[in-house]
Amino acid sequence: MTILGIESSCDETTAAVVVDGTKILSNVIATQIPFHEKYQGVVPEIASRKHTEWILPVVKQALEEADCTLDSIDGIAATNRPGLMGALLIGLTFGKTLAWATGKPFIAVNHMLAHLYAAHLSREIPYPYLGLLVSGGHSIICKVSGFDEIEVLGTTIDDAAGEAFDKVAKFYGFGYPGGVAIDTLAKNGDPKAARFPIPKINGLGHEYDVSYSGLKTAAINQIDQFWNEGYERTPENIAAAFQETAVTILLTRLFKAVENTGLTTIVAGGGVAANTRLRALLEKRTDLTCIFPPLKLCTDNGAMVAGIGYQYLSKEITSPWTVNTSARVEGFRKFGRR
């Protein structure tokens, strides 16, 4: 079964052709990073306009690179939530229209399910496992019992992990996107340069919830208070110390979930899953099986959307033409706080 997957939830216009949910024939990713760089953040209006310009050539290129025509496509999948409304509307409307015009089944895809599925594109992973979904908009620790059976155990009570990387990088002028800039700088810095506090959620959230606003404030406004004597205040040291705490916040909660659920397989997904330090610290836990998607599949891509599309279509589940976009993640089976 050959699926065309379309993704336009944020700042990448991307389309892919995937066979049977695993064999990637093409995965074209047109990144808008240079257009948002001068604003040091994604500008929704610019994102929508670029998706409008690029969606057709990107889909055409995905079909060409896969060496197939629309005739050989069995179904079309597009992200419909969560994300920027204007951006989502372009991929969703394009996908629905193409499916309607060619008489193909259409499947609307939850972006977060797709991020988790990215690791499944390159290998078979038995359920259940613990999922770590960390991106610019989400920080979710979840129990995953099937491709669309996600039980959220913990989430952020304020900023998402990627958002914290982006905001700290923006403040210090480290570069854009912030996560990549901090990851790169941190390689030449000392994580012990500062001792930022690990937040105690203290009744504000649930056992596995995380919080990033305190770390963000500490790293931006109160760095003197947490800086260790004898360390030079270089971008590399700031990045390394911030990153160490950001990653530790996630891992302390995740390891608690490992202890309490007894699940020893962890699958990561989302842009922050590309973080080198997060990967290194997880891989140190030799008692756990930690699975990361290849770097190119961590950030937004059409292949992961096609993968979820295949999972639904092979169970004969399609979406109605009336399916709409949503900025939020809720509404999928078991997704959301229960």
Q: Binding segment for ligand KG4 among 53-61, 64-72, 175-183, 303-311 (CB under 6 A)? A: 175-183
| In the complex, minimum distance from the CB of residue 39 to ligand KG4, in angstroms, rounded to a whole number | 14
| In the complex, minimum distance from the CB of residue 23 to Zn ion, in angstroms, rounded to a whole number | 22
Q: Yes or no: say if 186 and 277 are a contact pair by the CB < 8 Å rule.
A: yes
Residue 179 interacts, among ligand KG4, Zn ion, none and using kind-specific CB cut-offs from 5 to 8 Å, with ligand KG4
Residues 6+ apart with CB under 8 A from 277: 183, 186, 191, 243, 244, 247
Q: What are the tokens at 234?
A: 């270089």
Q: What are the tokens at 69?
A: 């025509």
| In the complex, minimum distance from the CB of residue 87 to ligand KG4, in angstroms, rounded to a whole number | 11
Q: Binding segment for ligand KG4 among 173-181, 196-204, 215-223, 304-312 (CB under 6 A)? A: 173-181
| In the complex, minimum distance from the CB of residue 19 to ligand KG4, in angstroms, rounded to a whole number | 24
Among 180, 185, 194, 268, contact with ligand KG4 (rule: CB under 6 A): 180
Q: Is 270 a residue that touches ligand KG4 (CB under 6 A)?
A: yes
Among 300, 304, 319, 325, contact with Zn ion (rule: CB under 5 A): 300
Residue 244 interacts, among Zn ion, ligand KG4, none and using kind-specific CB cut-offs from 5 to 8 Å, with none
Report cis status (omega within 30 of 0) of the bond before 128.
yes
Q: Is 302 a residue that touches ligand KG4 (CB under 6 A)?
A: no
- Strands in 23-31's sheet, in edge-to-edge order, are 23-31, 12-19, 2-7, 75-81, 106-110
Site for ligand KG4 in 7-66 (CB under 6 A): 10
Given the complex with ligand KG4, which of 21 and 136 has the nearer CB atom? 136
Q: Is 177 a residue that touches ligand KG4 (CB under 6 A)?
A: yes
Cα separation, 124 vs 120, in Å, equals 6
If 0-12 CB within 10 Å is exposed, 13-18 middle and 19+ buried, where does residue 330 land?
exposed
Interface with Zn ion (CB under 5 A), residue total 2
Q: Is 243 a residue that touches Zn ion (CB under 5 A)?
A: no
Q: Is 135 a residue that touches Zn ion (CB under 5 A)?
A: yes
Residue 26 interacts, among ligand KG4, Zn ion, none and using kind-specific CB cut-offs from 5 to 8 Å, with none
Residue 82 interacts, among Zn ion, ligand KG4, none and using kind-specific CB cut-offs from 5 to 8 Å, with none
Q: Is 79 a residue that touches Zn ion (CB under 5 A)?
A: no
Please give the residue ranges that form the binding site for ligand KG4 (CB under 6 A): 10, 135-137, 162, 165-166, 177-180, 183, 270-272, 274-275, 299-300
